[in-house]
Amino acid sequence: MEQEEKELKSLKNKRKYEMDMCSGPVLKKVLIYTLPLMASSVLQLLFNAADIIVVGRFAGENSLAAVGSTTSIVNLLVNLFVGLSIGANVLTARYYAAKKSAHLSKTIHTAMMLAIVGGILLAFVGFFGACPIMKMMQSPPEVLDLSVLYLKIYFLCMPAMLLYNYGAAILRAIGDTRRPLYYLTAAGVINVVLNLFFVIVLKMDVAGVAAATAIAQCFSAFMIVRCLMNESGSLKLRPKLLFIHKQEFVKILQIGIPAGFSGILFSLSNVVIQSSINGFGNIVVAGNAAAQNIEGFVYVSMNSFSQAAISFASQNVGVGKYERVNKILLSCAGSAAAAGIILGNGAYLFGDTLLRLYSENAEVIQMGLIRMSYVACFYALCGVMDSLVGVLRGLGYSVLPMIVSLIGACGLRILWIATIFQIPALHTIHTIYISYPISWALTALVLLVSHVIIMRGIKKRRDEREEELRRKAEREALNA
C-alpha cells in the first residue's frame, strides 16, 4: 500500500510538468510554455558565449576570431540532425495528444537511437574534416590552426549534444519545458567554471573552452536521458528497447528531413556570407563574431515561440482542433515580433557596452555595431518568419517551408553575394549585412500567403467531409 502511494505521488509530480495545449487560453499557455524554453535556449547559447567571452578577454583577437568563425560551419553540419528532432517533436506531440501509447513509445526509442547514430556520424565527419573545411571557408591564416583545434574537440561531443536535443524535443512535445531548463542551468555553471579554469589557470586557449563545452554537454545529455528513463508508461525510455522502428522512422524523416534541410540551407547561405566576411580581415571577423553571439540571444528568444508553435499546432492537429491553429499563429508570431523589437533594438542600443564583454579593441567594437544595425534591429522579421514555419510544420507541411527557405532566403542571399556584392562600389560589409532583413521579409510574406491557402484548403476538406456525413445520415434515416 505504501509503495503504491509513493508511485502515485511520483506520477503526480511528473504530470505537473505536462501541459494541455488543446484547450484554454492560447496566449497564456504559449507564454507559460515558452518562458522556460526561452531561458533554456539562452543558457544553451551561453555555452558558446562563454567560450567567446573568455578567449576574447584572456587569449586575444585571433582566438576570438577562431572560435567565432566556426559557428556557421557547426550549424551547417548539425542542422540536419537537429531538424530530425523536430520530426520527433511533432510525432510525439500528436501521439501523446491522441493517447496512442504504442506509437508514442516507438517514436521515443526511435528518436533517441537516431540521436546516438547521428551523433557518432557527426563526430567522425567533424573531427576528420575540420582542417579541409576551414581552409575551404578561407579562414585567415593566423587563426586557421586554432579554428581546426576548436572544431575537432567540439565535434567529439556531438553524441551528447544530439541526445540532449532529442530528449528535450520529446519533453517539449508533452509541454515540459522546465526540466530541460534545470539541467541546462547546472550545465551552464559547469561550463563557465571550467572555461575560466582551463583558459586562465591552465592556459589551454581555445582547446580549454572547447573541452569545457564538451564536458557541460555530456552532463546535460546524462540528465535528460536519466529523466526519460525515470518516466512512466509510454514516455519511459528503456535502453533495451532502443531501435529504429520503420513506421515511426519514416514519419520522423518526412517532417524532419525538410526541416533539417531548411536549417542546412540557411547555414549554407551563412557559410557563403561568412566566407565573404573573412575576406575583410581578422578585425572584421572578430567584430562580426562578437555581434553574432549577442544577436544569438535575441534569436533564440524569438525562436522559442517557433518551437511553441510546433508543439501547440501538433497537439491540436492530433485531436482535430484545427480551429485553434490561427490563434496559435497569432499568439506565437506576435510574441516573437515583440521579443525581436524589444531585445534586438535594445541589444543595439547597448551594443557598445555588450561588445566590450568580448573585446576592448575599438575597431572590433565598431565592426560589431555595424552588423547589429542591420541584423539585430530588424530581427523581429525573422521571428515572424520562424513562427510561420513552426505552425506549418505542426500542421504536417514540412516540405513547403523548405522550398520557400531555399528560394526566398537562402537563394536570395547567395545570389546577392554573387551579384550585388560583386559590384565594386557595393563591395562593402554593409552590402553583406543588408541581405538579412531583405530575405526575412520576403520569406515571411510568402509563408503567410502559403498558410492562408493551406488553412482554407483544410477548412474546405473538413466542410466537405461534414456535408458527406450529414447526407449519409439523412439517407440512413430515410431508409429506416
Give per-residue pLDDT as tens, 279-302: 888 888 888 888 988 898 898 899
Q: Is position 85 within any domain?
A: yes
Q: Give me the pLDDT at residue 3, please.
A: 47
How far separated are the first and last CA of the chain, in Å rounded?
Answer: 55
Q: CA–CA separation, 304 vs 336, rounded Å?
A: 8
Answer whether residue 403 shows pLDDT above 60.
Answer: yes
Q: Calculate the CA 431 to chain-centre distance.
A: 27
Query: ∠ at Cα 180 (179, 182), nearest 5°?
Result: 65
Would you list the DSSP string of 97-155? HTT-HHHHHHHHHHHHHHHHHHHHHHHHHHHHHHHHHHHHTT--HHHHHHHHHHHHHHH
What are the C-alpha distances in Å from 220 to residues 16, 150, 344, 443, 464?
21, 20, 29, 34, 49
Question: Which of 449, 448, 455 shows the shortest CA–CA distance to 322?
Answer: 455
pLDDT interval class at 7 (50, 70, 90): very low
Residue 365 falls inside a structural domain: yes
Does the residue 5 lie in any domain? no
Residue with cell 509530480: 13
Amino acid code (one letter) for 141: P
Q: What is the pLDDT of residue 13?
A: 52
Instruction: Place 78 in a pLDDT band, splitting at 50, 70 and 90.
Output: confident
User: Is residue 327 pLDDT above 90, yes or no?
Assistant: yes
Average pLDDT of the residues in 407-413: 81
pLDDT of residue 48: 64
pLDDT value at residue 12? 54
Q: Which pLDDT score, from 0 to 100, does residue 55 have? A: 79
pTM recorded for the entire structure: 0.77
Q: Is the pLDDT of residue 244 over 80?
A: yes
Average pLDDT over residues 261-274: 75
* Bigger pLDDT: 52 vs 170: 170
Q: Which of 131-145, 217-231, 329-343 has the lowest mean pLDDT?
A: 131-145
- Over residues 94-106, the pLDDT tens digits come to 899 888 899 999 9
Per-residue pLDDT, 283: 86
Task: Tell me what the pLDDT averaged over the chain comes to.
Answer: 85
Dist CA 212 CA 204 (whole Å): 11
The amino acid occupying position 402 is: M
In terms of pLDDT, which residue wins out, 358 or 75?
A: 358
In a domain, 7, yes or no: no
Q: How far apart are the C-alpha atoms of 237 and 229, rounded to whole Å?
A: 5
Write the pLDDT tens digit of every residue in 19-53. 888 888 899 999 988 888 888 777 767 666 667 77
If one counts the domains in the chain, the total is 1
Q: Is residue 446 part of a domain?
A: yes
Question: pLDDT band at 318, cuts 50/70/90?
Answer: confident
pLDDT computed for residue 203 by the predictor: 84
User: Looking at residues 215-235, what average pLDDT do you find?
Assistant: 92
For residue 73, pLDDT over 80 is answered with no
> Does position 309 have pLDDT exceeding 50, yes or no?
yes
- 6 domain residue, yes or no: no
Arithmetic mean of pLDDT, 266-271: 73
Question: What nine digits make up the cell of 450?
Answer: 502559403
Asked if residue 11 belongs to a domain, the reply is no
Q: pLDDT band at 345, cuts 50/70/90?
A: very high
Range of the domain at 177: 23-469
